Structure 1
């Protein structure tokens, strides 16, 4: 057992940053990569030195952003190879030792699952080292790397950099995050009594807490509090791209390594040894991989069956949609019925047809198995969301626990916001909030990879909002001028990344715009026919001029859903904008366009050569920040948002 240092003797945040920077001072890129990864795995994820050295891509679930330390693992890493070489008998070839021996955690550590997706830097380190077979070091070499990092760090005694110091530093870090003793113990695979002297009162759900402290909900500023673990700015000489290690990068890696070898990184062996780790039988341990399935047979949230809006604004919608809008029934639409006691052996028949999505994943829900995470099947119909316990799609048990959520009870759809009360280990999910029979809001969280999260949320919003009667004022403002436009009754249609409004009969298009052209969204109170009502105000760009549109619905639920949908798209655009790098010339062009109505003679306004101006315009057009038509250039909605969001920086 590693001798942990006492509370108060661990590496504080500033000291840990100096240690990490010390790792980046090493001479070669390979040494920096290995040392930095070793510091992160042992000092922030709590892996033992032995675990960090044995960690291989077979332990990594990129889709769930988790490391899964197994109970046993066949291994041919540098350390195990050396051990096999020493253990072999004259009559026992090395290859047989390698096949028969399995690595296990030390007796004081348990098999466990450790989330890492909350940290861009740890994700980047794992992505960078996966192609290099992770660390592949002997224990002595690893200790020398840590010592070298300590020698390069100010104020750190290299001899003090023991595994016990790094383990206790991890516990102290998790305590600073507010994780309770049971959650901290689960991360390190130890008993609660081991961590209680370090732990603080807080939350026991490590995934939720870490995701929250990493800034997912905007309630914290983790970069200043924990710059190494939670920061995204690159350090000098850092050997991996922290900014690029987002959820999409992990999903891409998951796709590229859909079925990783159990031991993907054998060390270089003598030519006389024909050891192949792929021939190893899989060892036991929590090495589960989520089968997110595919979008369903029939209409799919991912396949382009988007209930596409026709040119006249009418849409192919369900009978439920039409009834809600007061439109005549469409006899061609098949409608199922909601079963009061659904026969889950015919799961697809439980929901109103046609089925939109049908897939296997993991889920957690209020009112289902005590909120615990379960393997399940999720079916989205036209009027219901159905979740049931199912180890394998198509093999349902009639007595399987299940939950049927009428979509008319749904008040909210969120991405990557799993309530802490649910015992879910996955940080990436679509969460559906619903209020059955006027009760408090309940939640269903469904694990999905990035692309399918967006598809699922979009599918839900289309079903929930398509053909919704709305009261619309457009334009409520033109530039800074308030208009005298009267409220009009219209019908809302949701299309991919945009909205359209028709007349009340659904026959004639009245208004349509892309949500990427929205540069601000807020909730307001406004008078409609002498009555003050909550509404959603959208400031958007059309023909390079700002226009304000105000919309409201008859009840709080629909207003909230409209607000959530538009705000989600707005924040996606905002996140894209904040990731765009601009040259000084591009900033000058954008300020000029923002301040004028678009002109073909930008050269007379800017201190740029013709070549510099042309290059800046071409680059901005490629970034979809400007568009040109009939010799005039103007900002796109995304460009307007970029300037308004970063005006101080741009003007500077």
Structure 2
């Protein structure tokens, strides 16, 4: 492979072209043009342009007994549709998923309408050209104006039809407001992959916060921090004394909802998702 390799690791995998569904151990090599799955006896090359779906944690029924942490890749092989299932550690699967989506989508030509809605109000914005960038925890559309969607702030997304064709409509919070942005890509294949990426990232975050039990006081503290509040401001913002603020912050840190960054208190992705849900409920 002459092009630059962006992922190279050893894992178990199975192809539905195999005589037996039982996985084999081999090498997984990814470049910006192709994915290669190789064993000592065989090599299968998948052009990235042939991949039309990527999923995590779901495998064909006949393979369920063989795999645990997996990424399933659906691709076209001539007139046939086939799948490859790769198994690795959960962290390795998560990293590979991000790299694979980035190889598929980053740099793609896009058209952006932002904001298409503010709350329930339709705006008069038009679609503008941009280029898509996949970054950790966000998707970014770079054009005359850069539109960044923090994936932890997404509360809704759906494929819809507009004058430019099919779009993904994404509702998310932006500077404390619930807004809807609409994104179109050059091909249905890439639009499908963008929709899948959003679903996977949102589902992963939602699972992480599903069992988090935040009290009303803790939610008020999260909203205050989201609005820019720091340790010294929170007593006044929340109407409590400093000892109560210390207890609240300790509890939020233990629950993984806040972190101390270079600029002070900040919400983690899980904390942002909880606040986004709260803002969405208030704005509905």
TM class by smaller structure? 0.7 to 0.9
Superposition pairs of residues 94-493 of structure 1, within 5 angstroms: 349=1, 352-390=2-40, 400-422=41-63, 425-440=66-81, 442-493=82-133
* 1:566 paired residue number: 198
Q: Does 1:575 align with 2:207?
A: yes
- Higher Rg of the two aligned structures: 1
SS in 2 for 1:612: helix
The Cα shift of 1:438 comes to 4.3
Q: How does 1:495-644 map to 2 (within 5 A)?
A: 495-503=135-143, 510-518=146-154, 520-529=155-164, 533-583=165-215, 585-590=217-222, 608-617=240-249, 619-620=251-252, 623-625=256-258, 638-639=270-271, 641-643=273-275
Shift of 1:497: 2.2
Cα-to-partner distance string for 1:534-590 (whole Å, 9 max, x where unaligned):
322222223222222111223221111001112222222222222434345314545
- Distance in 2 separating the partners of 1:515 and 1:615: 29
The structure-2 alpha-carbon separation of the partners of 1:420 and 1:402, relative to structure 1 and needing over 3 Å to count, comes to farther
Structure-1 separation of matches of 2:24 and 2:130: 42
Measure, in 2, the Cα distance between the counterparts of 1:603 and 1:611.
Answer: 12
Deviation string, structure 1 residues 32-74 (Cα, Å, up to 9, x no partner) = xxxxxxxxxxxxxxxxxxxxxxxxxxxxxxxxxxxxxxxxxxx
- Classify 1:587/1:497 alpha carbon distance in 2 versus 1 (closer, same or farther; 3 Å): closer
Offset at 1:371?
3.3
Task: Give distance in 2, aligned partners of 1:497 and 1:377.
Answer: 28
Verify the 8 A CA contact 2:73 2:83 in the aligned structure 1: yes
**Structure 2: gaps of 5 or more residues:** 280-284
1:174-229 Cα offsets, whole Å, 9 max, x none, are: xxxxxxxxxxxxxxxxxxxxxxxxxxxxxxxxxxxxxxxxxxxxxxxxxxxxxxxx
What is the CA distance between 1:502 and its match in structure 2? 2.1
Q: Contact conserved, 1:434 with 1:443, CA < 8 A, in 2?
A: yes
1:278 corresponds in structure 2 to: none
Assess if the C-alpha contact under 8 Å between 2:109 and 2:185 holds in 1: yes
Distance 1:604 1:411, change over 3 A: closer
Aligned 8 A contact 1:362 1:446 in 2: yes
Say if 1:540 and 1:637, in contact at 8 Å, map to a contact too: no
User: 1-side partners of 2:31 and 2:228: how far apart?
Assistant: 47
Assess, with a 3 A threshold, how the Cα gap between structure 1 residues 356 and 587 changes in structure 2: closer, same or farther: closer
For the 8 Å contact 2:235–2:241, the answer to whether it is kept is no
Partner secondary structure for residue 421 of structure 1: helix
Higher strand share: 2
Normalising by structure 2, what TM-score? 0.80
More helix by share: 1
Q: Number of aligned residue pairs: give it.
A: 273
Gaps of 5+ in 1: 1-348, 391-399, 648-652
- RMSD over aligned CA atoms reads 3.4
Which whole-Å CA distance do the structure 1 matches of 2:227 and 2:134 have between them?
30
For the residue of structure 2 that corresponds to 1:572, the secondary structure is helix
Residue 355 (structure 1) shift: 1.6
